[in-house]
Structure 1
């Protein structure tokens, strides 16, 4: 199905705006596209707003191939701006809103953009960078997110004093002149910056093809229906939220719910708030049906006769619901149509349930109606309306840390999909929140491959068929954990595939002429080259290695400083499992230590607190010693409570880990730095090492090899460790 969608796109030469226009036409401009706080945006309003953006950019001289930057918090206007830019062939760089100073300046300069749209809430952050640096931007606009309302889409006035809002109020909401269709699937659509966990963020190229593949892949991998309401609290500058989530609305007409910021306390409340029940669906459809009849009084009797059998089916279905029986008795159009004044419950038994549901499904599918803030959706799957939720990184753990609330199970979320759900909390998340299916997927934004767990397999991040493995060339190759280099056959020089359940590195074949295997990489060609590994299964072939930084010079591989990748394994059936980040695996006492394995044990000891594990260097020793950092997140511990926590951790480490894997150091801090995609920034915390002086608010402990207990590090103990007093 994914391939058919892409081949159809290639054959028709459709632009991205063509695809969205088709969605608007198919779903209807009056139907709801986006919920955001108290705002309700229809497809028509989003289309009109994006038309204004396109017309204004064209007026400013933007042309196909130019770049616009977007630096603002998530809101409907965010989607409308980059969507409008695509209508005139302008690609948009989506900048992480958490960036500042050097990282922000790097992102702005990377793309050589002509202009930037800055959200009012980020004005000060941007001005700090713009004031002291030559950013080479021709145009800078400020947008008032709070006053970018759906009603302004068709209006030529605004109450905002910000430059972007004023500019859009002065242009037409009519569609711009269509772009010429070209057979170029690799035309740049947007740029998504990497999270920057291993250095400065890099701009990954998202082409029309790549965007479509990600959206179509998510839809068919996890069975997303057109009736699903997608809860997308993720940042829209990230591929999970801005592509996999938003794309379901743009290309398939799903309604989405977005937030300016993720809120763990409001997550399930939002899911409950925006749900739809089948009862509401029947009830409001009936009123719309009656309204339509009243609007055509001249031909009402002819219409009623023609539609008699259909309305009988509708009435019988409605009579099943106790709360609607009295309504049926008072509806004059039904009295005209039915052979009796009311619908006896006995008639329900005569009608087969399937045919009634078929009728309702077919009729309601024709329209989605917003009435009194209750949204009506089609029900083609013959089950109560459900919603879909997205997660990334640590979001699921944040939700588990919240106090138990009634909304934990009052929602109708049938599937949560995303990436980064730890196996340690996988089942606990499903059981507490009654989420039947987890749709975990794996794949970097810039990669040419993605894998997905489509059948709810516990712990798996994806699946690759063993029967037709050549159809999706994606393998796990053997890797030297010390050098982070592929292990090669000494005779052929080619890579060696891993045995089932053997840890290795995931690679995917690159094919420049195959639309499904293309690798577009980054704007920086040197950074793209570092993602490529050669001579894997045959001489001269090219493969993408996620996270791997290799340089191929005459078959000699040169290490770079941040040589990082993901350690994966594949079982006998083809299920893929994430083991660890290669950069996080360190060596101590001649043994390899997996940080994820140590973190799993740490999680058991600290409960709902946040913890991470990494390696730190000690003068005069080989390798790196383990260190754990634990965020208390506002929790105030007295000395006795702190001691009890450390004893608990020590017991877990001693009982579950070999001696070489037990962290020698523990830092208790208030917070851990997170990336914009809710991942712990290990680079930030590891820089502190075990020095107690860098942050006096932190308490740093050392596992004394003599007493076997964690001891608070003071200046004297710190000096002793560095001077080799202890035999480590």
Structure 2
């Protein structure tokens, strides 16, 4: 039976484990609580501390490479000197388009040392969406890996980096000693930085904890991706809160990370935890369920970073007598569903599930500090769970124009109070930032960040995630903006109108994308696979709708608003005079859905 409550007895039982971690907790609390925005406590400083304490210990493990903390420090110093020499200064940004490999972390660290922020581009993005993301930041340079040059080539005419050498190339090799050949129009960055000093850079205006270190892209709630600035403070909070207080990381620990490093869970939470312990991060370019445990054994990993979907994929693998033949005891991430929580821990012998709740742009986070089951933990930030309009991310205001909290145990929209201590860094676009703020919520002059997520309290301040609301949904570990997908579909010239939403599929996490559309010519000669090819060319794979409903009209309210909740409840069920198509696993196009296929999907026989 799944645990859906947290009691005093549960807290008491967890105390021996908390006491064992007490030295790490006390130290972590110091870092987590630092308030001075001007403190000389930055990502670069954290790396330098580890280089001094654990210089000969591994910092990064990747394929057959092992890079020590001393080597990472020296490598990032060369990059810092190079960027500085090329005229980049504190407060400017570069865009980074690299798969999970050591070069990405070295670039982020080197840039951080001289106060330059890295915009972490989603490697799945291409076409209009990628160009939009780059132009949001207006970077001086774009650092691109050989494995993703084609993505940049397709949009070079649409982006505007502000530098005489805007395109920096990193070969898909060990660039510490092998530079490769840069294509025409690109500067070979690895070759260039090899001639620079490995000493720590001296800058007249050094970065501080409150300065922006990274930009993470989020689909937010409406429109194309938004860029959320992340300060050095976020690394420091992850360093103290997750690495020390939740996981008590040590130099001997190895955290296996297959999550993409353009995600906050990987870059901030996983790497921040590794920094805290002077531990090693073992990287894989992309998650593989079949290779997962072999990699864990290869790297002797003790910890791994997860999203809920990843855990489900591992559970779906056939049971083996090797399921517990590994050194993993801890895991950190988000989205582990109560329905598989206990089964996952027991099958694979996991002791600590450091489930968390946070967002790239948000001012509030939760951590499963007491290692309870089925909870994102608790938060020291001020928050409330309030009543909301079903099917939206909008809170309900009462007759006095104020928000109302839900009763204890009821699902509610999570909002976090914006204060000096719990500031909201928001987005680069002021309008998008303002749209996420609820003002005069409970009293005149107050301000709250609207997470757009529904959670419920299950006891002793512990919350459980319920659902993601409004105009985003989560699929394959990614947030998908319905408006972004709708805009891309509108650009195809094939439809009169389209509405995108998420639908649940048995046996999966999150919600799969679905579009209900009215084709041009009222359905005549509509080529669904021409639409599929267009979507694949302009959207990352996780954002391409899994289901397409072709209809002759989409029902609206009297004020011309779509009845989105009603459409969503239909899911992929069949109706007269409509066709439903599905993008089935392992196929390269849409398949017409019939009643037999609906039954197979409902029975969980189709593995999405």
**Class of the TM-score when normalised by the shorter of the 2 chains:** 0.7 to 0.9
SS in 2 for 1:191: strand
Q: Deviation per CA, 1:649-699: give whole Å up to 9, x if none.
A: xxxxxxxxxxxxxxx9975431499xxxxxxxxxxxxxxxxxxxx965332
Q: 1:696 to 1:147 in 2, by over 3 A?
A: closer
Aligned equivalent of 1:343: none
Pair 1:172–1:195, CA change in 2 (3 A): same
Contact 1:667 1:701 (8 Å CA) reproduced:
no
Q: Give the deviation of 1:500 after TM superposition.
A: 0.9
CA contact (8 A) 1:271 1:412 kept: yes
C-alpha separation in 2, matches of 1:395 and 1:204: 25
In structure 2, the partner of 1:223 is 247
Match of 1:105 among 127, 131, 146: 131
Q: Deviations over 1:344-394 (max 9, x none)?
A: xxxxxxxxxxxxxxxxxxxxxxxxxxxxxxxxxxxxxxxxxx711111241
Q: How many Å separate the matches in 1 of 2:513 and 2:158?
A: 37
- The equivalent of 1:501 in structure 2 is 409
Residue 145 of structure 1 aligns to a residue whose secondary structure is coil
* Match status 1:518 vs 2:423: yes
**Out of 552, 564, 576, which is 2:463 matched to?**
576
Contact 1:75–1:258 (CA<8 Å) still a contact in 2? yes
1:481 aligns with 2:390: yes
Alignment of 1:408-557 (within 5 A): 408-464=323-379, 472-481=381-390, 484-491=393-400, 493-512=401-420, 514=421, 517-546=422-451
Q: State the Cα distance separating 1:522 from its structure 2 match.
A: 0.8
Other-structure match for 1:697: 591
Aligned residues: 494
SS in 2 for 1:570: strand
1:423–1:199 Cα change, 3 Å: farther
Task: Answer whether contact 2:391 2:470 (CA < 8 A) is retained.
Answer: no
Sort the Cα spacing of 1:498 and 1:247 in 2 relative to 1 into closer, same or farther, 3 A: same
Question: Residue in 1 aligned with 2:141?
Answer: 115
1:669–1:697 contact (8 Å) kept in structure 2: yes
Name the structure with the higher helix share: 1
Query: Kindly tell me: are residues 665 and 397 of structure 1, through their superposed partners in 2, closer, same or farther at Cα, counting changes over 3 Å?
Result: farther
Query: How far off is 1:253 after superposition?
Result: 0.9
Q: 1:463 to 1:102 in 2, by over 3 A?
A: same
Give the drift of 1:401. Answer: 2.1
Q: Report the alpha carbon displacement of residue 244 of structure 1 after superposing the two structures with TM.
A: 0.9
| TM-score, normalisation: structure 1 | 0.62
CA positional deviation for 1:261: 1.6
Contact between 1:67 and 1:111, CA under 8 Å: does it hold in 2? yes
1:189 counterpart residue number: 213
Q: Deviations over 1:609-649 (max 9, x none)?
A: 9974869687458742434459xxxxxxxxxxxxxxx9xxx
From 89, 95, 98, the counterpart of 2:121: 95
- Note the aligned Cα RMSD (angstroms): 3.3
**Structure 2 counterpart of 1:719:** none
How many Å separate the matches in 1 of 2:233 and 2:204?
17
Select 2:66's aligned residue among 30, 40, 48.
40
User: How far is 1:136 from its partner?
Assistant: 3.6
- Find the residue that maps to 2:167 and give its secondary structure: strand
Which 5+ residue runs of structure 1 have no aligned equivalent? 276-385, 465-470, 547-564, 587-594, 631-645, 647-663, 674-693, 704-708, 713-728
* Aligned-residue offset at 1:61: 0.8
Q: Deviations over 1:172-191 (max 9, x none)?
A: 22222245457x53211111
Instruction: Tell me the distance in 2 between the aligned counterparts of 1:711 and 1:408.
Output: 29
**2:482 corresponds to:** none
Whole-angstrom CA distance in 1 between matches of 2:41 and 2:583: 53
1:399-452 per-residue CA deviation (whole Å, 9 max, x = no partner) reads: 122233443211121122211122222222222222223221111110011012
Structure 2 counterpart of 1:16, from 23, 38, 43: 43
Work out whether residues 627 and 665 of structure 1, in 8 Å CA contact, stay in contact via their aligned partners in 2: no
Matches within 5 A, 1:127-138: 127-130=153-156, 132-138=157-163
Deviation at 1:248, TM superposition (A): 2.6
Q: Tell me if the contact between 1:75 and 1:145 (Cα under 8 Å) persists in the aligned partners.
A: no
| CA-CA distance at 1:263 after TM superposition | 1.4
SS at match of 1:213: helix
| Partners of 1:411 and 1:26 in 2: CA distance | 28
1:314-713 superposed matches below 5 A: 387-464=302-379, 472-481=381-390, 484-491=393-400, 493-512=401-420, 514=421, 517-546=422-451, 565-583=452-470, 599=504, 603=506, 612=512, 619=554, 623=563, 624-625=566-567, 626-628=569-571, 668-671=582-585, 697-701=591-595
- Relative distance call for 1:665 and 1:390 in structure 2 (3 A) is farther
3-state secondary structure, aligned to 1:257 = strand
Deviation at 1:584, TM superposition (A): 7.6
Matched residue of 1:567: which SS?
strand
- CA, structure 1 residues 410+233, in 2 after alignment: closer, same or farther (shift >3 Å)? same
More divergent stretch after superposition (233-242 vs 403-412) = 403-412
Indicate the residue corresponding to 2:292 in structure 1.
267
CA 629–260 in structure 1, closer or farther in 2 if over 3 Å, else same: farther
Deviation at 1:4, TM superposition (A): 2.1
Write the distance in 1 (CA, Å) between the matches of 2:581 and 2:154: 33
In the other structure, the counterpart of 1:140 is 167
Q: For residues 65 and 458 of structure 1, do their structure 2 counterparts lie closer, same or farther at Cα, with a shift above 3 Å needed?
A: same
Q: In 2, distance between residues paired with 1:615 and 1:495?
A: 33
